[in-house]
Amino acid sequence: MTTIWLIPALLVYALAAAGFVAGRLGAKGRLARAATPLLAAGAALQSIDLLARGVQAGNIPVTNFAQSLVFLAWLTALAALFLIVRYGMPVIGAFAGPLIFIAAGAAAVMTRPGRIAMPDALRSAWLPIHVTLALLGYALFVLAAGVSVVYLVYEKRLKSKRPLDQGDDHAPSLEKLDRVNYQLLGIGFLMLSLAIVTGAIWADATWGHYWSWEPEETWSLAIWLMYAGLLESRLTVGWRGRRAAALTIAVFTVLVGSFVGVSLIAPGKHGGNFG
């Protein structure tokens, strides 16, 4: 089910993405200056959409891949807003804005009309806890990848003695980008860890076993191990800067492939087959 609120949210997200990109290209017009408020407006409209669908479903409206994708877009928008405002890093919007629009737009296209059918197995207080933790972790990994892309671009500009950013006279330093990347990875890893634990507890209460090794669970564990290795490399080996940024992007690429591929090809209990 798609409510009337998602369409205007998509339009506002598109304007926000265009504004962020225009700002990075040096534009000083109204659209570039309004990019952050537009992103906030899009998140607000999407909040209304999620609330309307949640009331209809009687729980958090995440029962299939499309609904997970639109929820992920919303969490990414909120996390990006915090990052932009709290750390003064609007450059991240040029990466996050288009991805938020694409994710929400793809979810809208895939969403079938009609009422949301909530399986009995999902009518649990564990659903909003488990899903929110997992997708919030993913949202933070999205932003960590964005920060890493910015780091590599800025480092290349510094080496070639070019201005860091045409659209920002106060571009974040490489040290700040590396620090924020580490913080995003750490918090995202914590969220994913808690998601795996709560999912196991919920599975045991529902099906009588903590782990079934279905594709979604297996890939979640693989992704967890990859991010654990990435964080370990920073703490013990001392991999920071360009190497850490490149590894963050590489692991994120695997995350995207597993999230999309497994959800569409072999979702198991996580894709609507809750038998």
Give the other-Cβ count within 10 Å of 165's Cβ.
21
Mean pLDDT of 228-241: 86
**Residue 172 near residue 88 (C-beta atoms within 8 A):** yes
Structure tokens at 69: 């994708």
Sorted by where each begins, the domain ranges of the chain are 1-62+88-113, 122-269
The per-residue pLDDT for 274 is 33
Mean pLDDT of 110-119: 67
The confidence band for 270, taking pLDDT boundaries of 50, 70 and 90, is low
Q: How far is CA 159 from CA 109, 152, 168, 256, in A?
A: 43, 11, 19, 30
* pTM confidence score: 0.88
**Residue 224 near residue 196 (C-beta atoms within 8 A):** yes
Please state, for a pLDDT cut of 90, what percent of the chain lies above it.
49
The confidence band for 272, taking pLDDT boundaries of 50, 70 and 90, is very low
pLDDT digits (tens, 9 = 90+) for 205-231: 777 777 777 778 888 899 999 999 999
Query: What is d(CA 19, CA 98) in angstroms, rounded to the nearest whole number?
Result: 10
Burial 242-266 (b: 16+ CB within 10 A, else e): eebbebbbebbeebeebbeebbeee
pLDDT higher than threshold 70 for residue 251: yes
120 or 101, which is more confident: 101
